[in-house]
Amino acid sequence: AQAQAVLWAGDLRKMRARLASDLDAVLREGQEVKMQITVDFHERYGLKLVIADLDPAYTFGQLELKRRQTIETLRGLDLLERNRRLPLPKVLQRIAVISSENAAGFRDFQEHLTQNAFGYGFSCRLFASSVQGKNAEAELLEALQTIDTTRFDCIVIVRGGGARLDLSAFDGLELCKRVAQMPLPVFTGIGHDVDETVLDLVAHAALKTPTAVADFLLQHNLFFENELLQLAARLRSAGDQQLKISQLELQQAEQAWCWNAGAQLRASFERVDRIAETLPQIVRARLRGQAQKLEAAEAVCLALHPENVLKRGYSMTYKDGKPLMDASEVASGDLLETVLLKGTVLSKSVGRKRNAARDPRDGKDDRS
């Protein structure tokens, strides 16, 4: 059954003064509410319900009950810690941002990130989505499905401040399941200091504000830079230490080489000195040996000198000015020249005979 209800302007002002921004969230389409009403019957206009007051605690209670049911479902599926267990890249630089294009929280996040004091560069791409209202959960899911996870290092979901009931979109079961199963780490900064949404529970890290998310990313990259600087310092220290060790080893090798070279040089000098001492003796001994050989050769030469041969009673015979060595070279009638110790005799051949006085076969002289 349906009935028409009316909220008078005066009552609305009283409610707004008491509930402030929560009033709009409670009166949102589709929201379950508890109201104090009076029944008014007019004879002309009929039955009418007049809203006298609202009980926001009832609405909050229903949302909290739904929130707890969502948490238990996620726990049963082992999804509460799944995204948090993902390892973070060493550098978070390529960022997919899900937020409303006109949200102040998105602008704060982008400005804080890009105008950082460290000079870090970031590549941020916005995937526009409502972050409050009845369509927020569906648009957030659509944005998550649009992201090409191979092109980003992480996902950031940010929004500005708002009413507590505006956070109900971040308690949706399907949205939280999708975030928990994302292959990239998801960071949230949905701008509420007190309440924690289910989305905060399943995210890799939940920060209170968009600027806090930007600070988290900056600190993460700063930590990596410090690691690099420390590694570089350790490498320089190790390099300097190794250089000193190498220089010391080189000095030791140089000293050893110089000592060995000096020792070898001294040994060479000593050998030269010993050779210098013995060389004259060796030279004299060799000279004496050669002198003795020369004297012996001289004695042989003197003994074989033609004059000495002639002195022993021998003579030398020449034919045609050439020494005659073989009797077969002489024919009968040849003119011969015989040199004696004293003088020369000219003769004419009348025949020849062998050195042996007789032929052993017939005992006769060989004459011609």
Q: In terms of pLDDT, which residue wins out, 201 or 329? A: 201
- Residue 45 and residue 123 in one domain: no
* 162 Cβ neighbours under 8 A, 6+ residues apart: 21, 132, 191, 192
- Co-location of 136 and 42 in the same domain: no
Question: Are 184 and 89 members of one domain?
Answer: yes
Assess if residue 31 is contained within a domain.
yes
In a domain, 215, yes or no: yes
Residues 180 and 90 in one domain: yes
| Radius of gyration over every alpha carbon of the chain, rounded to an integer in angstroms | 65
Domain shared by 40 and 148, yes or no: no
Would 317 be classed as within a structural domain?
Answer: yes
Query: Bigger pLDDT: 61 or 65?
Result: 65
**The two structure tokens encoding residue 340:** 């004696």
Same domain (yes/no): 16, 89: no
Q: Which domain holds residue 34?
A: 5-54
Asked if 50 and 117 sit in the same domain, the reply is no
For the ranges 44-53, 92-101, 314-323, the one whose mean pLDDT is highest:
92-101
How high is the pLDDT of residue 253?
A: 92
> Three-state SS for 146?
helix
More confident residue, 139 or 284: 139
Query: What pLDDT was estimated at residue 56?
Result: 67
pLDDT reported for residue 368: 45
DSSP one-letter code for 165: G
How many independent structural domains does the chain possess? 3
pLDDT at 79 > cutoff 60: yes
Coil, strand or helix at 133 = coil
Quick one: tokens of 212? 């806090």
- CATH number reported for the structural domain that contains residue 138 in this entry: 3.40.50.2300
Distance of alpha carbon 93 from alpha carbon 107, whole angstroms = 18
| pLDDT of 173 | 92
**Residues 45 and 104 placed together within one structural domain of the fold:** no
Mean pLDDT of 69-98: 94
pLDDT confidence band for 351 (50 / 70 / 90): confident
**Is 260 a domain residue?**
no
Res. 108 pLDDT band, cuts 50 70 90: very high
Q: Does 87 share its domain with 211?
A: yes
pLDDT of 167-196, one tens digit each? 778 888 999 999 999 999 999 998 666 668
Q: Examine residue 131 and state whether it is found in any structural domain, yes or no.
A: yes
Distance CA(295)–CA(287), nearest Å, equals: 12
140 vs 127: CA distance, rounded Å: 9
Segment 159-165 mean pLDDT: 69
C-alpha count within 13 angstroms, C-beta hemisphere, residue 197: 32
